[in-house]
Amino acid sequence: MTRPHRLRALTAGAAAAAFALLPAVPAQADAIRDQQWGLEALHTDQAWQITKGEGITVAVLDTGVDADHPDLAGQVLPGKDFIGFGAGRGDGSWALHGTAMAGIIAGHGNGADGGEGVLGIAPEAKILPGRVILESTDPSRTKARESRGTALADGIRWAADQGADVINLSLGDDSESAHPDPGEDAAVQYALGKGVSVVASAGNSGDKGDRPSYPAAYPGVIAVTAVDKYGTHAAFSTRRWYATVSAPGVDIVVANPDQHYYIEWGTSAASAFVSGAVALVRAAHPGLSPAQIKTLLTDTARDAPKGGRDDAHGYGLVDPAAAIEAAAALRPADAKAGSAAAGYRGRYFGPGPTPAEEDRGPGVWPALTAGVVGAALLALAVVLWRSRPGGTGFPGRR
Average pLDDT over residues 104-111: 96
Q: By mean pLDDT, which of 28-42, 115-129, 261-275, 324-338 is the weakest?
A: 324-338
Of 170, 197, 246, 268, which is the active-site residue?
268
pLDDT(89) > 80: yes
pLDDT(396) > 50: no
Q: Rounded CA gap, 174 and 223, in Å?
A: 13
What are 310's strand-pairing partners? Answer: 314
Q: What pLDDT score was predicted for residue 311?
A: 97
Mean pLDDT over each residue of the chain, to the nearest integer: 82
Q: Rounded CA gap, 215 and 199, in Å?
A: 9
Domain ranges of the chain: 33-383
Q: Is the pLDDT higher at 363 or at 172?
A: 172
Which string of b and e fits 40-68 if b means at least 16 CB within 10 Å? ebbbbeebbebbbbeebbbbbbbbbbbbe
Residue 179 annotated as catalytic: no
Closest to 131 measured CA to CA, from 101, 161, 109, 107: 101
Q: What pLDDT score was predicted for residue 18?
A: 23
DSSP structural state of residue 70: T
Of 66, 71, 93, 97, which is the active-site residue?
97
pLDDT(360) > 70: no
Q: What pLDDT score was predicted for residue 367?
A: 28
Q: What pLDDT score was predicted for residue 269?
A: 98
Of 62, 66, 173, 258, which is the active-site residue?
62
**182 touches 150 (CB < 8 A):** no
Q: Which helix (H) or strand (E) holds 252?
A: strand 252-255
Task: Tell me the pTM.
Answer: 0.83
pLDDT bucket at 200, cuts 50 / 70 / 90: very high
**280 touches 51 (CB < 8 A):** yes
- Within 8 A by CB and 6+ apart from 263, the residues are 35, 251, 252, 253, 254, 380, 381, 382, 384
Residue 177 annotated as catalytic: no
pLDDT bucket at 215, cuts 50 / 70 / 90: very high
Max mean pLDDT among 44-48, 147-151, 336-340, 354-358 falls in 44-48
Q: What pLDDT score was predicted for residue 98?
A: 98
The 10 Å Cβ neighbour count of residue 94 is: 23
pLDDT(376) > 70: no
Closest to 135 measured CA to CA, from 11, 51, 259: 11
pLDDT bucket at 145, cuts 50 / 70 / 90: confident
Helices (H), 167-232: 182-193
Average pLDDT over residues 60-86: 97
* CA dihedral (7, 13, 14, 18) positive or negative: negative
Q: What pLDDT score was predicted for residue 395?
A: 35
Residue 62 annotated as catalytic: yes
Which string of b and e fits 305-321 if b means at least 16 CB within 10 Å? beeebbbbbbbbbbbbb
pLDDT bucket at 345, cuts 50 / 70 / 90: low
CATH of domain 33-383: 3.40.50.200
pLDDT bucket at 334, cuts 50 / 70 / 90: low
Q: Rounded CA gap, 340 and 168, in Å?
A: 18
pLDDT(73) > 80: yes
pLDDT(35) > 60: yes
pLDDT bucket at 388, cuts 50 / 70 / 90: very low
pLDDT bucket at 46, cuts 50 / 70 / 90: very high
